[in-house]
Structure 1
Amino acid sequence: MKRRYSPYTLPPWLRQIRAVGVQIIIPLTIFQGIRTVFFPTTFDVLLLGILIGLAIALRYDWI
Structure 2
Amino acid sequence: MEISKPEIKTDVIHEELFRKYLRVLKLARTPTREEFTKIATVAAAGILLIGMIGFLIFIVFEHKLMLGF
What is the TM-score normalised by the length of structure 2?
0.32
What is the TM-score normalised by the length of structure 1?
0.34
- Larger-Rg structure: 2
